């Protein structure tokens, strides 16, 4: 991983982050320099329900003050119910 202080020097506009990244660090050291994408745990997408709603809301709230692209912190798992993906889309778009 490129140290946060060097992101701008690479010329990138955004950095994808996985679900294990510490949000405070990302917000302060990375998002202040470039857009961030990701961070939702793909396993919570499989779980669905109120756990998914809370995770989506928490992710959005954590990165609301900067440039942010909502996405999973890693790829979607094959067993993920389509209804859960639709639930995320509805929640993020509101």
Range of the domain at 45: 16-93
- Whether 75 is in a domain gets the answer yes
- Whether 4 is in a domain gets the answer no
Mean pLDDT, to the nearest integer, of 28-49?
93
pTM: 0.85
Buried b (16+ CB within 10 A) or exposed e, 16-52: ebebebebeebbeebbebbbbbbbbbbebbeebeeeb
Q: Which helix (H) or strand (E) holds 36?
A: strand 35-38
Mean pLDDT, to the nearest integer, of 5-19?
84
- Whether 1 is in a domain gets the answer no
Task: Give tens-digit pLDDT for 41-74.
Answer: 999 999 999 999 999 999 999 999 999 999 998 9
- Whether 7 is in a domain gets the answer no
Domain count for the chain: 1
Q: What percent of the chain has pLDDT over 70?
A: 94
């Amino acid at each position: 991983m490129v140290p946060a202080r060097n992101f701008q020097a690479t010329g990138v506009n955004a950095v994808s982050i996985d679900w294990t990244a510490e949000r405070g660090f990302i917000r302060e050291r990375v998002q202040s320099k470039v857009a961030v994408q990701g961070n939702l745990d793909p396993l919570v997408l499989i779980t669905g329900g109120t756990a998914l709603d809370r995770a989506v809301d928490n992710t959005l709230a954590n990165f609301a003050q900067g440039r942010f692209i909502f996405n999973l912190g890693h790829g979607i798992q094959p067993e993920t119910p389509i209804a859960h993906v639709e639930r995320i889309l509805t929640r993020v778009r509101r």
